[in-house]
Chains A and B, each alone.
Chain A
Amino acid sequence: MIVTNTETIVGYEIIEMKGLVQGNTVRTKHAGRDIAAGLKNLVGGELKGYTELLTESRREAMQRMLAQAQQLGANGVVNVRFTTAAVTSGAAELYAYGTAVTLRKIG
Chain B
Amino acid sequence: MELIIELLLFIVPLVVCGLIIGRTVEKNHFAALDRREEANRDFLLSNSKTFPMAAAGSQEPTMVTSEVVIGSDYLKSFLSGWRGIFGGEMKSLQALQVRAKREAIARLIDQARAQGYNAMCNIRVDGVTVVGATKQNNKMLMASVLATATAYHAATPGSGTSSHV
Give chain A nearest CB distance to B66 CB in angstroms: 9
Main secondary structure of the interface of A (DSSP, over half): mixed
How far, in whole Å, are A84 and B77 apart by their CA atoms in the complex?
24
Instruction: List the A residue with the shortest CB-CB distance to B76.
Output: A44
B14 at interface by CB-CB < 8 Å: yes
Question: What chain A residues lie within 8 Å of B150 (beta carbons)?
Answer: 4-6
Can you list, as one digit per residue, whether each of B137-156 has a CB less than 8 Å from chain A (1) or not (0)? 10010101010111010000
B134 lies within 8 A of A88 (CB): yes
Complexed CA–CA distance, A43 and B150 (Å)? 35
- Please give the number of chain B residues whose Cβ is less than 8 angstroms from any Cβ of chain A in the complex: 53
| Complex contact B70–A46 (CB within 8 A) | yes
B130 with A54: CB separation less than 8 A = yes
Digitize A74-102: 1 where CB-to-B-CB distance is under 8 Å, 0 elsewhere: 00000011111111111110100000000
The verdict on B87 contacting chain A, using a C-beta distance below 8 Å, is no
A51 and B68 form a contact (CB under 8 A): yes
Q: Is B84 interfacial (CB 8 A cutoff)?
A: no
A82-B58 in contact (CB<8A):
no
- The answer to whether A45 and B25 touch across the interface, beta carbons within 8 angstroms, is yes
CA distance A74 to B14 in the complex (A): 55
Least Cβ–Cβ distance between B21 and chain A, in angstroms: 4
* 47-80 of chain B: CB within 8 A of chain A: 49-51, 54, 56-58, 60-63, 65, 67-74, 76-77
Cβ of B165 within 8 Å of any chain A Cβ, yes or no, is yes
CA A55 to CA B140, docked complex, whole Å: 20
Given that A41-B73, A43-B22, A47-B70 are contacting pairs, would A6 and B51 also be in contact in the complex, using a CB cutoff of 8 Å? yes
Q: Which residue of the partner chain A has the closest CB to B17?
A: A42
Confirm or deny: B128 has a beta carbon within 8 angstroms of a beta carbon on chain A.
yes
Please give me the residue from chain A that is nearest to B147 by CB atom: A82
**Which 8 interchain pairs have the tightest Cβ spacing?**
A44-B73, A50-B69, A54-B67, A10-B51, A44-B22, A43-B21, A90-B132, A84-B128
Residue ranges of A at the interface with B (Cβ–Cβ < 8 Å): 2-12, 28-29, 37-38, 40-47, 50-51, 53-55, 58, 62, 80-92, 94, 107
Add 4 more A-B contacts to A43-B25, A46-B69 (CB < 8 A): A3-B63, A10-B51, A54-B130, A86-B132
